[in-house]
Amino acid sequence: MSFVEQERMLFDLLFDEELREKFCKDSNVAFENYDLDENEKADFSVVRADALIMDAKIRVNLIMSQICRSYPLTFSIVSSKKEGLKLLKSLVGIKTMRTPYIDRSTEYGKQLSEELLQLSSLSEKETQLLTTVFQFELGMAWTTSNLKRLVLKKGKYQFGEIDILDDWADRPVRLAEFVSAGVIPISYKKIKKRLCLVDGNNLWRQLVSNPTSTSAINSILSNEDPRLVVSRAQIDHMSMCEPIVRHKTTELSEGFAPLFQHINGINSINTILLQLKQAGASDNILNGVKRGFYQLLETGMLLAC
């Protein structure tokens, strides 16, 4: 007797709410899409509906605790809406769970990007806040996944030492590996401090028991100060089972964002500054831009070739 179909069905019962409801009402209907003989079907007769529902709930919450680590601000903002937590949990389904673990957060993010459009209760400002924050966190989720994949493939990954040479402004510059960036309406560090009262796996549990208040969101929206947030994924703890990745972030003024299109491994910082000067930029602006580039270099976000 093969247990493959039994295992597939049990997995689906845990993460497919519609199938689980069918099984609890009439197990014969739930068996239709599975190649099970009568003995294999009989094995499911001992499965209690209440125990199955409880098991599924526990597993979903454990998985949500993990995924919440990739989207802390997104989850916090969405939780402020009545239908928010239900929407977030609904995406832990078969499609998400059949995705390899290393890509599960990014697959979840792809589905979430579509579902966020269904939050009709969002104001225009809330929509802008949620959209920009989510896109930034999704970018970090992608760099996390890519870095983990590379580490597991090679067995290790060593970031180069940050060494800023005297002629750094004359050298061509490019973004470092595993860097993502986005413009959000307020400092990422400040908004995270306001909305994420706990860290790590505990955040999801906190949001379930105490969702973010509307007043907290309004407070953030009343103090907008758009920032370009640049993040680099790096290994925090090496493990061949699952490397732990953390993100180093640095923040610049929103006006710095258009300059990123000129960071291509060909232009030097002095070349970019010259172009700005020819366009009429003041010495004050040029000095600020140069400081911004240096900040990116000293934090390892930017590399001088």
DSSP the chain: ---HHHHHHHHHHHH-HHHHHHHHH-HHHHGGGS---HHHHHHGGG--HHHHHHHHHHHHHHHHHHHHTT-HHHHHHHTTSTTHHHHHHHT-SHHHHTS-GGGHHHHHHHHHHHHGGG-TT--HHHHHHHHHHHHHHHHHHHHHHHHHHHHHHHS---PPP----TTGGGSBEEEPTTEEEEEESS-HHHHHHHH-SS-TTHHHHHHHHSPPPHHHHHHHHTT---EEEEEEEEEEE--SS--EEEEEEEEEEGGGGGGGGG-SSS-BHHHHHHHHHHTT--HHHHHHHHHHHHHHHHTTSEEE-
User: Would you state the pLDDT for residue 84?
Assistant: 92
User: Would you state the pLDDT for residue 15?
Assistant: 92
User: Would you state the pLDDT for residue 1?
Assistant: 47
Mean pLDDT by 10 residues, the chain (305 residues): 82 92 87 88 88 93 95 96 92 93 94 86 89 96 93 74 83 93 92 88 94 92 91 80 85 91 92 94 93 93 89
User: Would you state the pLDDT for residue 156?
Assistant: 67
User: Would you state the pLDDT for residue 132?
Assistant: 95
User: Would you state the pLDDT for residue 175?
Assistant: 92
User: Would you state the pLDDT for residue 195?
Assistant: 92
